[in-house]
Chains A and B, each alone.
Chain A
Amino acid sequence: MLRGAALVAGLDLRRRVGDRSFLVTAVVGPVALALIISAAFSSIAGIDATIAVVDADRSGISSGFVGRITAGESGGDEGGDGVTFEGRASAEEAARAVDDGDVDAAIVVPAGFEASLSGGEAIALRVIADAERPIGGAIATAVAEGFADRVDAAALSVRTALAADEEAFDDVAHLTLAAQEVRSAAAVEDSGFSADFDAAAYFGPSMAILFLFLTVGAGARSLLAEQREGTLARLRSSPLPLAALLLGKAGAALVTGLVSLLVMWAVTQLVLGADWGDPVAVLALVVATVLAIAGIGALVTGLARTDAQAEGWTSVVTFTLALLGGNFVSPGALPGALRRLSLLTPNGWALRGFTELSAGHGGLADVVPALAVLLATAAVTGTAGVALLARRVA
């Protein structure tokens, strides 16, 4: 029985390897897509932004701020590495420069800004950004907010002084000047995390999983194709038991799926230097993922009437699950509701597991929930699928 199964599996595998289009879906396609994505996101972390600054106020406060940042003084909130500031004459000129792409964003201190601080409502600082260059806009906003905080801290200091002891501070002009030096006692310190997001370690498994649906399902579909072409009848007339036939087909499908994922692992690790994480846990997750997707493939095929219909349904199921599971977007890009929805799909769980291992530096214990869901999916869909297929061919 086992020898028979091995024979069927070997025959199936040999036929697959000889099929060029199969090699594309199983190996070349997913690896190529993962390479493109990694190349596209390789330098996203490096920040290189130019921000225009306009002093339309021409007051002590505004010229101090503009002078400080254009001189490249790194005083805490001012941008950081890779950010340069350039002075511009007017808000209109700066807006044009942003629109033309000469600068990434602009900060404008409007006319009358300092004067507005002493009475009632302060005039707002302006940031001119371009939606197509969000990082430049984010940096300009952070710098402007940092400046606003300084102004607020100075204003609050003056008010607190006068409220505490008005007589002691009779020289308000002097007090206001001294208060300019007050800095908020607490600030935000950014710990750059982008270096930790390894696009290849995320999109590698993501693309491999997408294609797994197509390759692994081919095993079950080949059963229907053989039935249509009559080769199945010939096989059934041999002394080979039905169980051996099914086992062989399933074995071949699982091997191709495993090879597809393992090749992706090897290529991304060796060529791109991606780190998928703890090898033992990765291997366990790879096996569980292949089993779950093979189970779904068997079920879809078992429900279909013909191998062509099975192929169509498989594509539909593949893309629906990939969309919901988040295979096409980076983790965290899914909004809250969809993020929860993604955990209704096996690929969503698999991806979460792979992310846990690569980005989260987790171990086997961290992927136990993912493994449990995947294996349960494999058991339920696989049993149902194989039963349906067995009844079909018997």
Chain B
Amino acid sequence: MRAVLAISANELRRVLRDRTAAFFVAVLPVVIIVVIGSTFGTGGSDLPVGVVDLDGTARSRELAEALDSSTAIDVSTYTDEGDLAADVRTRRVEAGVVLPAGYAEALDAGEPTAVRLLSDPTASGAVPVRSAVAGAVAAQGRVHAAAAFVAGRLGLDAAELVEVAEREADALAPVAVDVEQVGDDRRADLSPFSYTAPSNLVLFLFVNSIAVGAVLATDRASGITRRLLATPHPVSTIVAGVGLAKLTFALVQAGLILGVGALLFDVDWGDPAGAVLLTVTFAVVSTGVGLVVGSTARSTEGAQSVGVPVAIGMAMLGGCMWPLDVVPDPMRIAGHLVPHAWAMDGWRDLVLDGGGLGAVATELAVLAGFAAVALAAAVWRLRLALTA
């Protein structure tokens, strides 16, 4: 056992001396959590919205001003609808509002008219933008509708009643819509980083395990592993030592992301036993795959340049880049062929739903299966590589 520890301590020291590795292990995951987390965060303030006024009347300007004074959006003015549409498509603005020609005329006649909203419903700010625009449009529209309604009954001109309706509208509190999220109070209090922190934990644990595992190829080529064999320790001790070093490295990385997530980003990782088991099982899977790569590849550079894109692809399939709810069914099924999807399912149970150990039992069992296969393959390949 002492030999195992000595071999693994030595291995770890060598990896930790590499400053590039330090960047990928410590700096990059944190930066990514910040960048991606902030894109999913509330983002409610000052969403850029373009407005083009094709009507150019007092009424349309009034609506444009109402939009401008809305707190949720930040309005910029356009003169050409084509320019606005292009900017919406390239997402320079979150949405575009087109006030059509004849807008005021229709309003004054009490006829229904529509303001066109150019937006992608899947964009992050689509909902608050639509609410803000629809609210402002409806507020103006109902004044004119009410004026027309009353005017019709009294045989008057609607224009005469607009002022009365405006006055009444100021005194009337509109009906509110309260949106509540299910999943009790937990969801409401969750840090906005609650999805990105676990997904980056899974992503980087795997990517770095591949990169670190690939270093074995260089050790094999340079004879470091053969020198280990010259010691009086049996091959199994050396295999265990090398494996333990890589696993420790993965766990250090995991601990770092868990700690940074909890301390800096206020992520509640959920049930401690579940979180620890999930982390360790996935770390074993990652380390196993990394060791297989390192003991099979001809060169470290080759293994890394192939392994890292493959690992990123697996993370995409497994829901580390976006939640698997948003993808079509076949992609969701395909995603569960990689361990990432099971780990992400587990983290969602723990972090988003506040589930306990029981909630992640299935995921842990599947991951344990992945881990067993990966470890067996790693031991077999490593033995072969050491003794060949």
Name A residues whose Cβ lies closer than 8 Å to a Cβ of B: 19-22, 24-25, 29-30, 32-33, 36-37, 39-45, 47, 95, 98-99, 117, 121-122, 124-135, 137-138, 141-142, 144-146, 148-149, 151-153, 155-157, 159-161, 163-165, 168-169, 178-179, 182-194, 196-197, 211, 214, 309, 311-313, 315-316, 319-320, 323-324, 328-336, 338, 352, 355-356, 359-362
Residue of A44, A148, A153, A179 with highest tally of chain B CB at under 10 A: A153
Among B86-94, B230-238, B254-262, the stretch that binds chain A is B86-94
Since A21-B299, A138-B127, A159-B168 are in contact, a sample of 6 more A-B pairs with Cβ atoms closer than 8 Å, ordered by chain A residue number, is A40-B326, A124-B176, A152-B175, A197-B89, A309-B20, A332-B125
* Known interface pairs A124-B175, A356-B90; A138-B124 also in contact (CB < 8 Å): no
CB of B365 within 8 Å of the partner chain: no
The A/B interface has a contact count, at CB < 8 Å, of 323
Of the residues A95, A161, A323, A359, contact of B89 by C-beta under 8 Å = A359
Contact between chains at B175 and A185 (CB < 8 Å): no
When each residue 312-331 of chain B gets 1 if its CB lies under 8 Å from chain A and 0 otherwise, what string results? 11001100011101111001
CB pair A33–B312 under 8 Å, yes or no, is: yes
Q: Which residue of A lies closest to B300 (CB)?
A: A308
Give residues in B with beta carbon < 8 Å to A. Answer: 18-20, 23-24, 28, 31-32, 35-36, 38-39, 41, 43, 46, 48, 63, 86-92, 94, 103, 106-107, 110-127, 130-131, 133-135, 137-138, 140-150, 153-154, 161, 164-165, 167-169, 171-183, 187, 299, 301-303, 305-306, 309-310, 312-313, 316-317, 321-323, 325-328, 331, 352
Tell me how far the C-beta of B312 lies from the nearest C-beta in chain A, rounded to whole angstroms.
6
What is the CA–CA distance of A29 and B131 in the complex, to the nearest angstrom?
A: 41
A159-B182 in contact given A36-B313, A145-B177 (Cβ < 8 Å): no
A130 contacts B145, CB within 8 Å? Answer: no
| A residues less than 8 Å from B125 (CB atoms) | 332
Please give the distance in Å from B352's CB to the nearest CB on chain A.
8
Question: In the complex, which residue of chain B has the Cβ closest to the Cβ of A47?
Answer: B121
B138 lies within 8 A of A127 (CB): no
Which residues on B sit within 8 Å (CB–CB) of A315?
Answer: 20, 24
CB pair B145–A185 under 8 Å, yes or no, is yes
Q: A127-B179, A188-B130, A192-B121 are in contact. Are A36 and B107 (CB under 8 A)?
A: no
Q: Could you tell me the distance in whole angstroms from the C-beta of A61 to the nearest C-beta in chain B?
A: 10
Among B114, B168, B173, B313, contact of A188 (Cβ-Cβ < 8 Å): B114
Taken together as a complex, chains A and B put the C-alpha atoms of A369 and B134 apart, in Å, by: 36
How long is the Cα–Cα vector from A32 to B314 in the complex, in angstroms?
Answer: 11
**Cα distance A152–B168 when bound, in Å?**
11
Alpha-carbon separation in the docked complex, A333 to B250 (Å):
31
When the two chains form the complex, which single residue of A135, A179, A187, A320 contacts B112, counting CB atoms closer than 8 Å? A187
Name the distance in Å between B295's Cβ and chain A's nearest Cβ: 17
27 residue pairs A–B, Cβ–Cβ below 8 Å: A20-B302, A29-B310, A32-B313, A40-B322, A126-B180, A127-B179, A128-B182, A129-B181, A137-B179, A138-B121, A160-B164, A163-B164, A183-B145, A185-B110, A187-B115, A187-B141, A188-B130, A189-B116, A190-B117, A193-B89, A309-B20, A311-B301, A316-B23, A329-B39, A338-B38, A352-B90, A355-B90
The answer to whether A155 and B114 touch (CB under 8 A), given A144-B177, A168-B154, is no
From B127, B130, B306, A21 is in contact (CB under 8 Å) with B306
For residue B19, which residues in chain A have a CB less than 8 angstroms away from its CB?
312
| B118 lies within 8 A of A193 (CB) | yes
> With A40-B327, A148-B177, A315-B24 in contact, is A188–B145 under 8 Å at CB?
no
Contact A312 B20 (CB under 8 A): yes
Contact A39 B305 (CB under 8 A): no
CB–CB B142/A185 < 8 A: yes
CA of A146 to CA of B91, assembled, Å: 27
User: Which residues of B sit under 8 angstroms from A33, Cβ to Cβ?
Assistant: 309, 312-313, 316
Q: Is the CB of A165 within 8 A of B301?
A: no
Closest chain-A Cβ to B95's Cβ sits at a distance in Å of 9
B333 to chain A, nearest CB (A): 12
Chain B residues near A134 (CB-CB < 8 A): 127
The one of B138, B187, B317 that contacts A186, using a Cβ cutoff of 8 Å: B138
Q: Which residues of B contact A41 (CB under 8 A)?
A: 326-327
A95, closest chain B residue (CB): B182
Closest residue on chain B to residue A138 by CB atoms: B127
Known: A40-B331, A312-B20. A153 touches B146 (CB 8 A): yes
Across the interface, A149 reaches (CB within 8 A) one of B89, B142, B149, B313, namely B142
A151 to chain B, nearest CB (A): 5
**A185-B111 contact, Cβ under 8 Å, with A157-B145, A159-B172, A312-B18:** yes
> Would you call B127 and A124 a contact (CB within 8 A)?
no
CA distance A197 to B91 in the complex (A): 10
A315 to B133, CA, bound (A): 44
Q: Which residues of A contact B41 (CB under 8 A)?
A: 335
Q: Are A44 and B122 in contact (CB under 8 A)?
A: yes
Residue among B28, B113, B138 with the highest chain A CB neighbour number at 10 A: B138
Q: CA–CA, A270 to B80, complex, Å?
A: 34
The answer to whether A188 and B127 touch across the interface, beta carbons within 8 angstroms, is: no
The 4 closest A-B pairs by CB, nearest first: A332-B91, A312-B20, A186-B141, A184-B141
Partner of B165, one of A44, A156, A336, A338: A156
- Report the minimum CB–CB distance from A43 to chain B (whole Å): 5
